[in-house]
Structure 1
Amino acid sequence: MRAYGRRKVLALAAGLLAAVTACSGDARPAPSTPAAATSTPSKSPEPPAVTQAEAAEEFAAYIRTDDLLRNVPGDFQGRLLQVQDITTGGQWQLIQAAYLSSGYTPPRHQWGSPTFYVPRFDEGAGSPWFSVLVTRDDAPTLLTFVKFDRWRLSSAAELLPGQELPPIELDDEGYATAVAADDKSVTISPQFIGPVHASVAETGKAGVTDGLLAAGPYTTEVAEQIAERRESAKSDGFSYDSIFSADNFPVYALRTEDGGALIQYSLSRTTSTQTKTAEDDYIPVPDSARWAISSPVLRRSLKLTETHQYATAVPPLTKPAPAPVIAHDGALTRASGQ
């Protein structure tokens, strides 16, 4: 998050305040037109760029290919290239790490019956996408697929214990509505959700973004953990820091029935530990990183990079409240040191 800087976060907070002020001001409502005055019949909606049937076909094709790649031995590099063909963004990083950390034998998934949320995009839309809520390995999981040259899995996050997907707004034909990146009708615009989350995860209740996200294990508790580990490392003769960043990960948002948004996004977390005293103060390598670093300890430095994917239910601006993180998945995706 440091890359965004404090001024960027302050600007974000000011922008949110301005949005609240604009919505609560004395702007005049547009004059209403009597229904009887409308003589032109309404046009039928244009055919969507992605149909529900196409979404179902692409999801089925993905789980068949994913299962095949996980079940076929040998040709390690070839399998990874095929995995890259069906994934993108944070999912490529996570699934690549799943293969590398398991000796190219990641566990096969068990899938339940899917529920599709397909936004109604116009024909020619640049990168249409759709989401699927499905039980994966006994855990309700929200997946999102995006189309570039082909359909690829971009995001997957498991619903947290006790959480449910908020009701998604659907039109008469069952299609969802995508929320624009700069939408100002919600308490956190989709384009700002990553930087806001990164700030809360680093600074917790001490930062300017306090109160925008609900407290919990993936927000304020992470900040507390970082502060505790920084102090512990200092007393042991090390320097420690952990930084979150939204990088260039895509963001997907669906309109909910209450006027809010269900936003799916990713963050990277980079944790660095360095020795500050004699070289015999070794840095232990955690078990989760031993697939990338064979040595149990390092003399000088350790750098761990994690990829995390989330789904957060953001309230409408008319009913402001801290936005809860309702789904998450993540893992260590890179490790290095000396």
Structure 2
Amino acid sequence: MRVTGTVRRAWVLVAALAVVPVAASACGGSEPEVRPTTLVTTTKPEPVPLTLEVARREYRAFLANDDVARAAGDERLALTWVSDGESALTAAEYRRAAFDGDPVKRYDYGTPKLYVPKLEPDVYPQWFVASVPRQERGDSKSRRTVLMAFILRAPGERWTLSLRTVLTPKAKEPKVVVDAYGYAEPMNTADTSVLIRPREVPGIQATVASEGPDSVAARVMKSGPLTTGYYATARKERRRARAKGLTRTTVITATPYPIFQLRTENGGGLVLYSLFRNTVTGVEDEEDETAKPPIPPEAEHLLDGTVEGDEVHVFETLQFAAFDPARPKEGRGGGNGDRGRTPARPKAEVIAEAGGVHSADTPEEKKTPN
């Protein structure tokens, strides 16, 4: 092949350019600069099995950090250790203390009973329940049993307190079934061996609280301050409001928060859950533009003291525990001397309550278009 002068000069130029970096390096007396490629890798956290020791560690960690936050009045720190309904209630508690100029309440705890279900390590959320005597610091008369549900939603995240409720003074805490190794027996939310499927317990209580003792739901849940008592209280508040030229509407609904359920002795269940209660107080005479409903004392710390429109909306998160008895066997008669009689049907009972107002607003009146 005949090589022209032009082609020959191109080859020489390419060869010269290839030698330049080596020559420059030799003149400088140092190695050529190397820029390695940075590889960003992430490792997925491995699931940690929930054991009794893990539950004890996380329970103690919560108490220690919660007390540090309360001692310092540090709402931000407190909120990193709670979730679900406890988040809104914790924020409201700190704001109430700041509004009143009081320190946040601190507590002393006794020896806990930890109910740790045996769960698959790769199934989330993981959870456990603690039952513990608690009292306000310096007030021995305030000693009550508190039920606390802790949750872990994914590997590598922090355990948080999802729900906290207080056993009513006359209630007896049901005995949770624990195996030879100390683990509690969890229940499925759709378990049909109990009178009310656990996932339906919140709705049953909300129905009784809204409709009263004549409700069909009252056939499976006992009357009391936390069921038919809510209904009676709402009726009294409506009558009082009407006497003052006001309207008042209360609605109790389920929440999106988790439900925790544990097997108890004799086939029953202990169910922990939350409900929302929303109340609207308005002016009966809507034509009177100067009339304003009063701000409820329990919501003063959440509002600026003025009512923009003609309604005050108050939102509560309430947290409960209920005993759900075993479903009776159909067609079984009574014992000796009771032949032919149908034994009294058992009913679920709400045994613990806590919570309160977490937000409020006074929406502006909607203008009717001309």
TM-score band (shorter)? 0.7 to 0.9
In the TM superposition, what is the alpha-carbon distance from 1:211 to its structure 2 partner?
2.1
> What is the 5 A alignment of 1:1-338?
49-73=49-73, 79-103=74-98, 105-137=103-135, 138-148=143-153, 149-277=157-285, 278-295=288-305, 300-318=310-328, 320-337=345-362
Partner SS for 1:258 = helix
In the TM superposition, what is the alpha-carbon distance from 1:235 to its structure 2 partner?
4.2
Mean CA deviation greater in 83-92 or 276-285 = 276-285
| Residue 24 (structure 1) aligns with | none
Contact 2:49 2:120 survives alignment (8 Å)? yes
CA distance in 1, matches of 2:264, 2:60: 26
Q: Match of 1:181, as an amino acid?
A: T
In the TM superposition, what is the alpha-carbon distance from 1:281 to its structure 2 partner?
3.7
In the TM superposition, what is the alpha-carbon distance from 1:237 to its structure 2 partner?
2.7
CA distance in 2, matches of 1:206, 1:232: 23
Q: Match of 2:322, as an amino acid?
A: T
Contact 1:284 1:296 survives alignment (8 Å)? no
In the TM superposition, what is the alpha-carbon distance from 1:214 to its structure 2 partner?
1.0
CA distance in 2, matches of 1:214, 1:299: 40
Tell me the percent identity. 29
Q: Which structure ranks higher in relative contact order (CA pairs < 8 Å, sequence separation ≥ 6)?
A: 1
In the TM superposition, what is the alpha-carbon distance from 1:264 to its structure 2 partner?
0.2
CA distance in 1, matches of 2:278, 2:162: 21
Contact 1:117 1:132 survives alignment (8 Å)? yes
- Structure 2's unaligned 5+ residue stretches are 1-47, 136-142, 330-344, 364-370
CA distance in 2, matches of 1:244, 1:99: 25
Contact 1:49 1:120 survives alignment (8 Å)? no
Mean CA deviation greater in 233-242 or 266-275 = 233-242
| Larger Rg belongs to | 2
In the TM superposition, what is the alpha-carbon distance from 1:250 to its structure 2 partner?
0.9
Contact 2:307 2:362 survives alignment (8 Å)? no
Residue by residue over 1:40-61, the C-alpha shift from the partner in whole angstroms, topping out at 9 and shown as x without a partner, is xxxxxxxx93111111110000
Q: Match of 1:314, as an amino acid?
A: D
Partner SS for 1:245 = strand
In the TM superposition, what is the alpha-carbon distance from 1:85 to its structure 2 partner?
2.0
Contact 1:311 1:327 survives alignment (8 Å)? yes
In the TM superposition, what is the alpha-carbon distance from 1:295 to its structure 2 partner?
2.0
Contact 2:70 2:78 survives alignment (8 Å)? no
- Structure 1's unaligned 5+ residue stretches are 1-47, 74-78
CA distance in 2, matches of 1:85, 1:107: 18
Mean CA deviation greater in 171-180 or 311-320 = 311-320
Partner SS for 1:107 = coil
CA distance in 1, matches of 2:211, 2:222: 14
Aligned residues: 286
CA distance in 2, matches of 1:206, 1:231: 20
Q: Match of 2:89, as an amino acid?
A: L
Partner SS for 1:240 = strand
In the TM superposition, what is the alpha-carbon distance from 1:174 to its structure 2 partner?
1.4
Residue by residue over 1:13-36, the C-alpha shift from the partner in whole angstroms, topping out at 9 and shown as x without a partner, is xxxxxxxxxxxxxxxxxxxxxxxx
CA distance in 2, matches of 1:296, 1:102: 20
In the TM superposition, what is the alpha-carbon distance from 1:296 to its structure 2 partner?
7.3
Contact 1:200 1:219 survives alignment (8 Å)? yes
Mean CA deviation greater in 249-258 or 278-287 = 278-287
Runs of 4+ displaced beyond 4 Å: 296-299
CA distance in 2, matches of 1:240, 1:267: 19
